């Protein structure tokens, strides 16, 4: 079951057309999923180096980075068993569409970056959940196992954003919720794990 907080946090479900494209591109789904786990670990480490004075952030991002790298190892292990060679894929425009709105001055820059992190983790969790009914037994078990950690990452990012903000973050969350919804419904040139529906 998808946790209610994520259902409420996201303004839309993943379109069925994206689900259909995911099933038509099983190799790209796994390769880009692996890339996303690696990028998520990199983001956490970048935040640790950039905001070394923030102790709670250090601890949460350290744990998150380890978990994301473990997920990367798990995805690539499944790929090897299926004869899928890992390779670099071009990034989707999803994260770029969100990060273009990040404020340039601190603490706004940190708050916005953490809120975006929450949306990326929430969308990942939602997409794992939507894919479950269509996957083979091995992938279904693996993706189900990711739901809890992705949901916790979403909560960690959101709690940190509120912790380091002097004002309530609801207005910025609402702003990025709409930006995220638009990103999901904007057509992309190629199918990716976080892409909108790829234009045919």
CATH fold of 17-184: Ferritin (1.20.1260)
d(C-alpha 115, C-alpha 173), whole Å:
7
Low-confidence ranges of the chain (pLDDT < 70): 1, 200
Q: How confident is the model at residue 200, as a pLDDT?
A: 58
pLDDT at 153: 95
pLDDT for the residue 157? 98
The ranges assigned to domains in the chain are 17-184
The residue count of the chain comes to 200
d(CA 169, CA 163): 10
Return the pLDDT at 3: 82
């Amino acid at each position: 079951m998808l946790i209610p907080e994520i259902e409420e946090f996201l303004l839309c479900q993943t379109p069925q057309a994206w689900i259909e494209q995911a099933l038509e591109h099983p190799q790209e789904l796994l390769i880009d999923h692996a890339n996303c786990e690696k990028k998520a670990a990199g983001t956490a480490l970048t935040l640790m180096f950039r905001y070394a004075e923030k102790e709670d952030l250090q601890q949460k991002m350290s744990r998150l980075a380890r978990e994301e790298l473990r997920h990367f190892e798990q995805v690539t292990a499944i790929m090897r068993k299926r004869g899928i060679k890992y390779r670099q894929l071009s990034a989707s425009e999803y994260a770029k569409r969100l990060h273009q709105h990040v404020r340039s001055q601190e603490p706004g820059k940190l708050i916005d970056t953490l809120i975006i992190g929450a949306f990326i983790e929430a969308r990942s969790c939602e997409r794992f959940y939507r894919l479950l009914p269509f996957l083979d037994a091995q992938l279904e078990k693996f993706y189900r196992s990711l739901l809890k950690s992705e949901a916790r990452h979403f909560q960690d990012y959101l709690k940190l954003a509120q912790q380091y903000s002097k004002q309530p973050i609801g207005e910025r969350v609402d702003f990025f919720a709409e930006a995220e919804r638009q990103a999901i419904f904007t057509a992309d040139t190629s199918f990716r794990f976080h892409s909108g529906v790829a234009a045919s």
